[in-house]
Chains A and B, each alone.
Chain A
Amino acid sequence: MIQTIDIKKSYRVGEVKVEALRGVSLRIRKGEFVSITGPSGSGKSTLMHILGCLDRPTSGKLFLDDGEVGKLNDNALAEVRNKKIGFVFQQFNLLPRATALHNVELPLIYAGVRMRERMERAKIALEKVGLSHRLYHRPNELSGGERQRVAIARAVVNNPPLILADEPTGNLDSKAGQGIMELFQKLHEEGHTLIVVTHERYVAEFSERIIHIRDGLLEKEEETVNCKR
């Protein structure tokens, strides 16, 4: 359901032109659990931003759910991010002054969902990640693992086909990290398409297929034991 054709991305840092991606083409099937790995500076974060419609490629095509999204305007991209993509970040990125429930409601607010339905769906999402007892807590009252769960609940509340996670265990201890990856597995079993960007091997091994990026290009692809083919 995701296809990129020769994606290139370059930008200026002062006088210097940086080529973050130099022509990446890949395909991800619906329902696949893929991880993208690579050393620091390889362009994997840039690739994630483009796949997540947070940024546009300098050249090349990007197809999401069979629609070309590479050339959409800002408003259309926002729509795509709202309805088709769920983000999970390394630093959780929750609104610090809002409760867990309100944080999870946020995508639904931007989707225009009415209050009663919104609260229901948010509660269900939080239940799914095992946080029904923490609905009204603020992020600073939650542990790292709990915060990331809230972020995951937020990512799935609008039922997007694609979930994108950027170093989701980076700020967590190994136990919490394990819990999060198991949650991702559960979501995968429910049918979500997942892309996880990571530099840690053990995280990548939860996925079905590992895509290695180096110096802005796709270096190799690797199937893991989880691969269902």
Chain B
Amino acid sequence: MEFMENFKAALDGIAANRMRSFLSMLGIIIGIAAVITIVSITQGSQKAISERIRALGTNLINVTPGRIRGVAGRRAQALTDLFTVEDGEKILKKASAVKLVAPVLQKNLLLQYKDKNTEITVNGVTPEYQEVLNFWVEKGRFIDPRDIKFSRTLIVLGQEVASELFGDEDPLGKYVIVNTSLSRYKFRVIGIMEPKGQVMFFNFDRQAYVPLTTAQKRLLHTKYITSLLIQARDEESANEAVEQVDAVLYQKFQDDNKYNIMSQEQILSTMESTMGIFTVMLAGIAGISLLVGGIGIMNIMLVSVTERTREIGIRMAIGAKRRDIRLQFLSESIILCLVGGAIGIALGWLSSSLIASIQGWPTLISFWAIVLALGFSTAVGLFFGIYPANKASKMDPVEALRYE
């Protein structure tokens, strides 16, 4: 039997009972729609997160004291007396893959302006900080080498800090009070940082920056720093830089449990593989409903075959071979699954767009997701359709013709 004729016969069989065909497709439709929705949302948000992390530059390396367990559960590090500015300078000198080193001394302190106050993280930094983090001042200016040299009481505020303390007022030139546990200090605002939002657990807009020497000598009375932010020469040398930094630090501390080196590269790949596993798991669960849908198809096809026993007998009597009958019914189940798959893809696209617009998550339906979904529905149609199709083809013509 010609392929086209077989196709038409299969379509006719499906159209014979439209409601039933639709209901049996439902399992496939829901299964595919669920898989498409889940995969597109996770792929979309993964891409968005990667991009934000990448925006920091994958050649960024963060060195902190102590061991970090995992990516999550890390807030402002407690002040641990370990690193000094000299360690940073040594790294810059000895590690050839390193381009810049920005030492940072962090502490949560209370900032006051008139009747407003807010507790935020105050960072004692050097001028390199901007370039290393790709985070620049928007208004006014950043800390410069002379501020460092003279330990000036100058401060640069993040966007949210500025609006919390000053509202619509222009903060430049005004004075804020920085409160430590021991004393209070007056700092003049010299700059406002650009808005950058939050990446992972770090909110750029809720930071304030003072010269490192000021923080060490006047505010916190320590010669230590909390972390070293390191920029590798370029993305390719990031791994090499990590090794070199490790070598320098190990030489000094003789114990690599004392410090932790985390590169942006590592964070990114950890996150990507985690999300990848997550996606596969969720898709797998949704895939189970595809399986159930396939069982539904098989069930309906079996009923259909029994109902059409007479028809099968007639076709055999006028010359249909067993393989013609088998092909006819197999085509029906494959077409049911393909159409169900197509509807499921459209539905999945719709629902993921809906969720995306409500939640503000990005979505991404890749070409491969669609190809895979269609491929899977065809496979389901084939696998679950073969038993009924075989049953139809094995009928005895005489008995089939006698069937009421």
Q: Is B398 an interface residue (CB 8 A)?
A: yes
Q: How far is the CB of A104 from chain B (nearest CB, A)?
A: 10
Q: A75-B321, A110-B324 are in contact. List 17 more A-B contacts (CB 8 A).
A: A49-B398, A54-B316, A54-B317, A55-B397, A78-B319, A78-B321, A79-B319, A81-B317, A81-B318, A87-B318, A93-B317, A98-B12, A106-B318, A107-B319, A109-B2, A110-B318, A111-B319
Per-position 1/0 for B302-325, Cβ under 8 A of A: 000000001101111111111110
Q: How far is the CB of B144 from chain A (nearest CB, A)?
A: 85
Q: Is B401 an interface residue (CB 8 A)?
A: yes
Q: Is B16 an interface residue (CB 8 A)?
A: yes
Whether A109 pairs with B5 at a CB distance below 8 angstroms is: yes
Please, how many angstroms separate the alpha-carbon atoms of A110 and B5 in the complex?
A: 9
Q: Is B355 an interface residue (CB 8 A)?
A: no
Q: List 26 A-B contacts (CB under 8 A).
A: A49-B398, A54-B397, A55-B397, A75-B323, A78-B316, A81-B316, A81-B318, A83-B319, A87-B317, A87-B318, A93-B314, A94-B314, A97-B16, A98-B12, A106-B315, A107-B319, A109-B2, A109-B5, A110-B1, A110-B315, A110-B318, A110-B320, A110-B321, A110-B324, A111-B319, A158-B319
Q: Is A63 an interface residue (CB 8 A)?
A: no
B residues with CB within 8 A of A: 1-2, 5, 12, 16, 310-311, 313-324, 396-398, 401
Chain B residue with the shortest CB-CB distance to A106: B318
Which residues in B have their C-beta under 8 angstroms from that of A93?
A: 310, 313-314, 317, 401
Sort chain A's interface into a size bin. Answer: 20 to 34
Please, how many angstroms separate the alpha-carbon atoms of A93 and B312 in the complex?
A: 11
A residues with CB within 8 A of B: 49, 52, 54-55, 74-75, 78-79, 81-83, 87, 89, 93-95, 97-98, 106-107, 109-112, 154, 158
Please, how many angstroms separate the alpha-carbon atoms of A12 and B288 in the complex?
A: 44
Please, how many angstroms separate the alpha-carbon atoms of A154 and B318 in the complex?
A: 9
Please, how many angstroms separate the alpha-carbon atoms of A63 and B398 in the complex?
A: 20
Please, how many angstroms separate the alpha-carbon atoms of A185 and B64 in the complex?
A: 105
Which residues in B have their C-beta under 8 angstroms from that of A154?
A: 318
Whether A97 pairs with B319 at a CB distance below 8 angstroms is: no
Whether A81 pairs with B319 at a CB distance below 8 angstroms is: yes
